[in-house]
Amino acid sequence: MSTPSPRHTIPAQRQQDILRAVRSGSTHVSDLAASFGVSEMTVRRDLRALARAGRLERVRGGAVNATSERPFDEIVVERLEAKDRIGAAAAAMVQDGQTVMIDIGTTTLQAARHLHGRKITVVTTSLAVYEELVPDPDIELILPGGLVRRNYRSLVGILAESSLRQLKADLLFLGTSAVDPEIGVWDSTMVEVPIKRAMIEAAESVTLLADAEKFAMAGLVRVCEADVIDRIVTDAPPPEACGPAIAEGGIDVIVG
């Protein structure tokens, strides 16, 4: 069996990508080696270097993130232009009179910013989306309640889940930490997954908002399979490996 050709020739770049993968939930040496097309010995060497720098913690068979979850305000400015294009394309699909559910996330926030002036109802567990839309008198806002995750400005827990089960929406803008080649949607924060699943159940149509980087990322927990996704809004054509799943699922792809 042939081994995959290395995706990186510069150790520093590979280590940055390994660190990103660990932060997204990919922690085992063998998985990292397969993902980056290098030997397990090379991955262990990179992990030792990152551990010495205090950027992760080594555990048996792999590594875990040494830092707490990055703040929402830090992530929201990354790839902002691409996220804004995605948000504008997604918002253009919304019609007056509709009820729209908006998941947490920095890309879904950009969609909310393009909804001002629309006569719609928005259901969201994102306090950032709430803060963006609350000054707009044309938009009726529904917050489901729940426990506040201050770092990511979201609502989670049994109260949020229970409230979402009592609601229906025409459209969901779903965020994600990662998208695999089968268009499986993944998240890196376990507590958010039940909220996402409840939103999916409540929505007539599910639109996944994912910038191009998400198709190269890894997540910790699978949120859903491709069969619940109606369309994807992104900033570049998805990788060729995603083509069969997109075609089989009849998923519309919109590039903003």
pLDDT given for residue 32 in this prediction: 81
Name which of 99, 252, 102 is nearest 174 in CA terms. Answer: 102
At a CB cut-off of 8 Å and minimum separation 6, what does 104 contact? 124, 125, 126, 128, 129, 152, 153, 154, 175, 192, 195
pLDDT given for residue 38 in this prediction: 87
| Cα–Cα distance measured from residue 187 to residue 178, given in angstroms and rounded to the nearest whole number | 6
pLDDT in tens, the chain (256 residues): 344 444 555 777 788 887 777 765 556 788 788 877 888 888 888 888 877 776 666 656 666 555 555 565 666 556 678 899 999 999 999 999 999 999 999 999 999 999 999 999 999 999 999 999 999 999 999 999 998 888 788 999 999 999 999 999 999 999 999 999 999 999 988 789 999 999 999 999 999 999 999 998 888 789 999 999 999 999 999 999 999 999 999 999 999 8
Q: Where are the domains of the chain?
A: 11-65, 73-255
At a CB cut-off of 8 Å and minimum separation 6, what does 232 contact? 179, 183, 207, 208, 210, 238, 246, 251, 252, 253, 254
| Cα–Cα distance measured from residue 223 to residue 236, given in angstroms and rounded to the nearest whole number | 23
Question: What dotted CATH number matches 11-65?
Answer: 1.10.10.10
Which CATH architecture is the domain 73-255 placed in?
A: 3-Layer(aba) Sandwich (3.40)
pLDDT given for residue 188 in this prediction: 83
State percent of the chain over pLDDT 70. 84
| DSSP β-ladder status, 185-187 and 221-224 | antiparallel
Q: Which pLDDT tens digit goes with each residue over 182-195?
A: 999 999 887 899 99
pLDDT given for residue 58 in this prediction: 64
